[in-house]
Amino acid sequence: QAQEKKMIGQETPAQKEKRMAWWTHDRFGMFIHWGLYALPARHEWVKHNERLTNEQYQTYFDLFNPNQFDPKSWAKQAKAAGMKYAVLTTKHHEGFCLFDSRYTDYKATNTKAHRDLVREFVNAFRAEGIKVGFYYSLIDWHHPDFTIDGMHPQRVENGADSTYARLNKGRDMNKYRQYLRNQISELLTQYGKIDILWLDFSYPGKNGKGKDDWDAVNLLKMIRKLQPGIIVDNRLNLEEYEDGADFLTPEQVKVEELAQYRGKTWETCQTFSGSWGYYRDENSWKSTHQLLELLIGSVSKGGNLILNVGPTARGLFDYRAQSALGNIGDWMKGNSESIYGCTYAPESFEVPKNTMLTYNPTTQRLYVHLLEYNNRLQLPQYKGKIKYAQLLHDNSEVKFTTDGNNIILNLPEKQPDMEIPVVELVLN
Ligand code: H79
């Protein structure tokens, strides 16, 4: 039954489960996309989208001055929102390094920041008991050896092979591969224990890049050797290997589409407003209800959610992000038991109308999330399966009656002051 796939290392499934136990339990993390793109404040792909040259982009390097950078405040906000791990962009596609790399001058220490921003992030989040992860872009639109491909800011639309060959004269991917290795090695040796490595991303095919361009097998071997406990995403293009990735990464996928990942190990990454970097004029901010649906929906399908913040160029979380995080925290304060350690419900429990279910296999509690409030909630075919019911946030009893094979919950007339109330069911 189990598909035979090649192996890079020799970890057993049981060993992998143990290595990933904290991550699977914790369910909820913070993504942080911060870089020079916070200055133009119109998408982290601005260099690509507007085909900016290195020279044009240099303005942002020269003016980068995050004089309100306070990672302790970031960490406190993440913790208050109930997030258990955080992943920071140490370098995004633009190539700018937030850390003090020996292998480039294109780094935060050479800007008005004059500091290793990655080190301060690591220290601040660790101090709050939050696990730390590094996002590192495989793509690099600044490095002189990274070849111009179909996604590069200097790409040519429908360019012939000969055109690309001419454009790439003098660029040497061997050197870039070594740079990649060197920098990842720095990140995994100079900052203590790193819990997650989030590499982004492969786009194999014509005018693309994939595993051979990164020397991905050897890169992953090095990563595992330097940090044996680390958890690595699936964007190295090593799909042909059983152990080429630790988790799948559905990006900005709708809640309804998460069902397809059931039974796999995955984390969906989501944004507040669409872009990942700070985007001043974006008007598509999700409501608290939508954000909570993403969190609950992920757990109800057996996965994690990593929710992104794009700090401003000065180093602050934008007020809209602060307020969204606060609202999530308000909900988590009363209801986090339906998130941590939870997964999808056993098949024998039908999902009641306008609800999402999560289940804690250890305590055997079933959680019914009331997306649209109705004080008489029907639990179809639940007769005989339930011992007791209560609201999760205040442990107040919810009485119920039977109607054929169904259970009817008699919830309070008026919705409790809670964005999405949760009923906790003690099972028979
Ligand atoms: O780092 C974040 C994104 O920048 C990166 N991965 C997450 C974690 C990523 N976003 N999208 N993609 C990778 C896939 C590429 C999408 C594109 Fe486009 C569509 C590139 C060009 C068109 C999105 C829309 C980016 C620019 C316009």
Per-residue pLDDT of 102-117, as tens digits, reads 999 999 999 999 999 9
Same domain, 309 and 415: no
Cα R_g (the chain), whole angstroms: 23
Q: How far is the CA of 302 from the centre of ligand 1 (A)?
A: 25
b/e sequence 416-427, b meaning 16+ C-beta within 10 Å? eebbbbbbbbee
Same domain, 221 and 101: yes
Both tokens of residue 121? Answer: 């992030």
Q: How far apart are CA 256 and CA 46, in angstroms?
A: 30
State the total domains in the chain.
2
Same domain, 282 and 216: yes
Mean of pLDDT values over 280-301: 98
Q: Which domain holds residue 409?
A: 355-427
Ligand 1 atom nearest the C-alpha of 31 is: 8
Contact criterion met (CB below 8 Å) for 92 and 31: no
Same domain, 71 and 181: yes
Number of C-beta neighbours around residue 264 at 10 A: 12
Q: How far is the CA of 251 from the centre of ligand 1 (A)?
A: 9
Both tokens of residue 4? Answer: 């035979």
- Residue 375: inside a domain, yes or no? yes
Both tokens of residue 104? Answer: 């480039």
Q: Among residues of the chain, what percentage have pLDDT more than 90?
A: 99
Q: How far is the CA of 151 from the centre of ligand 1 (A)?
A: 10
Q: How far is the CA of 344 from the centre of ligand 1 (A)?
A: 29
Nearest CA to ligand 1 atom 1: 276
Supply the mean pLDDT for the chain: 98
pLDDT computed for residue 400 by the predictor:
98
Domain boundary at 282, 305, 338, which?
338
pLDDT at 136 over 80: yes
Ligand 1 atom nearest the C-alpha of 33 is: 1
Q: How far is the CA of 37 from the centre of ligand 1 (A)?
A: 14
- Residue 349: inside a domain, yes or no? no
Q: What is the CATH number of the domain that holds 369?
A: 2.60.40.1180
Same domain, 289 and 249: yes
Contact criterion met (CB below 8 Å) for 233 and 137: no
Same domain, 328 and 366: no
Mean of pLDDT values over 79-103: 99
pLDDT computed for residue 4 by the predictor:
83
Q: What is the CATH number of the domain that holds 332?
A: 3.20.20.80
Same domain, 241 and 372: no
pLDDT computed for residue 2 by the predictor:
59
- Residue 163: inside a domain, yes or no? yes
The torsion angle over the Cα atoms of residues 393, 379, 289 and 43, rounded to 10 degrees, is 120
Q: Edge-to-edge, what's the strand order for the sheet holding 231-232?
A: 231-232, 196-200, 131-137, 85-91, 28-32, 304-309, 267-270
Mean of pLDDT values over 337-365: 98
Domain boundary at 292, 310, 338, which?
338
| Ligand 1, CB within 6 Å, residue ranges | 33, 44-45, 49, 200-201, 251, 269, 276
pLDDT at 1 over 60: no
Ligand 1 atom nearest the C-alpha of 308 is: 8
Residues 6+ apart with CB under 8 A from 71: 117, 120, 121, 123, 124, 125
- Residue 285: inside a domain, yes or no? yes
Instruction: Select from 30, 45, 46, 276 the residue to mutate for testing ligand 1; criterion: most ligand atoms less than 8 Å from CB.
Output: 45
Closest CA to 230 of 87, 83, 72, 78: 87
Q: How far is the CA of 200 from the centre of ligand 1 (A)?
A: 10
Strand (E) or helix (H) holding 396: none
Nearest CA to ligand 1 atom 17: 45
Both tokens of residue 199? Answer: 């590499």
Ligand 1 atom nearest the C-alpha of 277 is: 4
- Residue 2: inside a domain, yes or no? no
Q: How far is the CA of 276 from the centre of ligand 1 (A)?
A: 9
Contact criterion met (CB below 8 Å) for 88 and 118: yes
Same domain, 331 and 367: no
Nearest CA to ligand 1 atom 26: 45
Both tokens of residue 198? Answer: 């989030």
Strand (E) or helix (H) holding 134: strand 131-137
Contact criterion met (CB below 8 Å) for 342 and 359: yes
Instruction: Select from 30, 34, 134, 201 the residue to mutate for testing ligand 1; criterion: most ligand atoms less than 8 Å from CB.
Output: 201
Contact criterion met (CB below 8 Å) for 86 and 335: no
Q: How far is the CA of 218 from the centre of ligand 1 (A)?
A: 26
Q: How far apart are CA 252 and CA 256, in angstroms?
A: 12
Nearest CA to ligand 1 atom 18: 45
Domain boundary at 276, 305, 338, which?
338
pLDDT digits (tens, 9 = 90+) for 357-377: 999 999 999 999 999 999 999
Q: How far is the CA of 140 from the centre of ligand 1 (A)?
A: 14
Same domain, 281 and 370: no
pTM for the model stands at 0.98
pLDDT digits (tens, 9 = 90+) for 137-171: 999 999 999 999 999 999 999 999 999 999 999 99
Nearest CA to ligand 1 atom 3: 276
Q: How far apart are CA 190 and CA 134, in angstroms?
A: 12
Same domain, 331 and 366: no
- Residue 359: inside a domain, yes or no? yes
Closest CA to 313 of 66, 23, 56, 24: 66
Ligand 1 atom nearest the C-alpha of 249 is: 8
Q: How far is the CA of 326 from the centre of ligand 1 (A)?
A: 27
pLDDT digits (tens, 9 = 90+) for 32-43: 999 999 999 999
**ipTM for the complex shown:** 0.96
The beta strand positions in 298-421, using DSSP E, are: 304-309, 355-360, 365-370, 376-379, 386-391, 399-403, 406-410
pLDDT computed for residue 3 by the predictor:
63
Q: How far apart are CA 279 and CA 384, in angstroms?
A: 52
pLDDT computed for residue 315 by the predictor:
98
- Residue 1: inside a domain, yes or no? no
Contact criterion met (CB below 8 Å) for 224 and 161: no
Strand (E) or helix (H) holding 231: strand 231-232
pLDDT digits (tens, 9 = 90+) for 194-221: 999 999 999 999 999 999 999 999 999 9
Q: How far is the CA of 58 from the centre of ligand 1 (A)?
A: 22
